[in-house]
Chains A and B, each alone.
Chain A
Amino acid sequence: MAVLLLAEVDNGELNLDATAKAVTAVKPLGDVHVLCAGAKAAAAGETAATIDGVAKVLVAEDAQYGHRLAEPTAKLLVDLAGDYDHIAAPATTDAKNILPRAAALLDVMILTDVSGVIDADTFERPIYAGNAVQTVKSRDSKKVLSIRTSTFDAAGTGNSAPVETVTPAEAPGLSEWVEDHVAESDRPDLTSAGIVVSGGRGVGSEEDFKLIENLADKLGAAIGASRAAVDSGYAPNDWQVGQTGKVVAPDLYIACGISGAIQHLAGMKDSKVIVAINKDEEAPIFQVADYGLVADLFDAIPELNEKL
């Protein structure tokens, strides 16, 4: 049977990277039908149809799907679920909000952050901040899973899958959107960037976080932060990398003034090359770093910036 994949649609636009990575993950399970839901979703549907391996695109356009509120989108998934054995989505905050609700309505368990697909019933997922990997087999008739995108390569594009529209269900009317507080940025997206420069408590202040930003801009990189840096107000919440923030796996991850707590490592240890800059040679971050530089970041980062 086919797989229903809820695409990541943000403000009418498809998050191609996250969606195409999830397509790669679920492709072995059957024909992939991508659902684009939003107040505007037609353009996202057109883009989704170009992803290689997609058999069909479903577009659900209605005001109630506009801000990815959990209740209406979960209901939509449940209404469509009859035709599918698997319901999946990339593990974004939207999907984490929506999928467990849909699973409970279907009376099935959820598998979150799936990092490997073994067969139609069996999946791998990290637990305990990535300190263990569990292989689990589901006995449920339908499987609802979110996909850890950092472990899959994005499917290519060039396809032209058929696009169908689906009729929206009646709105549950339980919640409404008020406003978004989103900082516009020209920097690459943290979860898909090739290079990430991250700052921790060692950076010391919001002003000094400019050092991290300048280095990132020089490298065309996205910016990350430790929880301590976010809690201290040096960096916004959506920059947090880790067990309870974002999971990233760029080609190059540069950790500056970050000690390397397991909760932070959980979000970045699958990066291809890790660089650590820390003045404490005992810092645990050096145990995972390919290249460690024991130095004061206030000397090393400006020097790096200048020599790049």
Chain B
Amino acid sequence: MKVLVPVKRVIDYNVKVRVKGDGSGVDLANVKMSMNPFDEIACEAAIRMKESGAVEEVIAVSIGVKQAQETLRTALAMGCDRAILIVATDDVHTDIEPLAVAKLLKAVVDAEEPGLVICGKQAIDNDMNATGQMLSALLGWSQATFASKIDIDGDHATVKREVDGGMQSIKVKMPAVISVDLRLNEPRYASLPNIMKAKKKPLDEKTPEDYGVDVSPRLEVVKTAEPPERDAGIIVKSVDELLDKLKNEAGVI
């Protein structure tokens, strides 16, 4: 079985984002970009399946700007076998919407015929939490979101999911789209020799036209603004002062 892992290039999670003065978006020029942390977890899961012998090939796919090559090289250095980059825009500030991403991924699935897609539950830039579910819908496959444990058994997968009330286990028919949550695994760091080896692994470049997919956006960003700031508070000296403030100033206890 082949496994497809979509990986997104996003602003590094340690970077504090800045909204542009003219309200047109977030400043992404010259900031550190990394693989979406959830996608590292997805890569790790797929690579472990390969190491256990359950999977023959792991293919990483990214959709976006040309620079997403770096993200794919990271995936290859972790242990993915080959990569596909769909260059859908040349402007780092243009992101492709989940619906268009899902349509492109569907086209890749049709061409590569993997038995499983493992993606992140959400990208930490736009926080949409949508792409996996949309891809699953377009393929007519089963879906298991927010996975914290995956057991594949022939034509079924049992997935433990992180949900509001705690955990839920479901059994889905293969092929399936699984989106991963934080506690599925701890992704490995790529070793230097593997980073070197990754440079020789195949990385194909495509365009949306190759797949006949229209990526024009359905949503228009009217403006991007800073959220309201909280006023700075005070430091209290003791538990007694804290209790006094909460009772008599804030009136919350």
Could you tell me which A residues sit within 8 Å of B by CB distance?
Answer: 10, 67, 69-71, 74, 92-94, 96-105, 107-113, 122, 126-140, 173-183, 191, 195, 219, 227, 230-231, 236-238, 243-244, 246, 251-252, 262-263, 269, 272-275, 281, 286-295, 300, 303-304, 307-308
Contact = CB atoms under 8 A, between A and B. Distances in A.
A127 B98 contact: no
Interface in B164-214: 164-173, 181-183
Contacts, number: 259
Contact of A10 (B129, B135, B143, B165): B165
Given A128-B11, A139-B219, A231-B183, A93 B164 contact: yes
Interface stretch (B42-50, B64-72, B82-90, B231-239): B231-239
The 10 closest A-B pairs by CB, nearest first: A104-B134, A100-B133, A174-B142, A104-B137, A290-B233, A100-B130, A181-B167, A178-B169, A109-B218, A175-B172
Contacts of B236: 291-293
A137 B244 CA distance: 46
B242 A275 contact: yes
Contact-residue bracket for chain B:
35 or more
Interface of B: 11, 13, 16-17, 19, 26, 38, 97-99, 102, 121-122, 124-138, 141-146, 148, 158, 160, 162-173, 181-183, 217-227, 230, 232-236, 238-240, 242-243, 245-246, 250, 252-253
B166 A237 contact: yes
Given A128-B17, A219-B253, A273-B246, A104 B133 contact: yes
Given A69-B170, A103-B99, A94 B164 contact: yes
22 contacts: A92-B164, A97-B145, A101-B143, A109-B218, A110-B98, A122-B222, A133-B224, A139-B218, A174-B173, A175-B172, A176-B170, A178-B158, A179-B168, A181-B160, A191-B164, A230-B183, A273-B246, A275-B246, A291-B233, A291-B242, A293-B236, A295-B239
A189 to B, nearest CB: 9
A303 B242 CA distance: 11
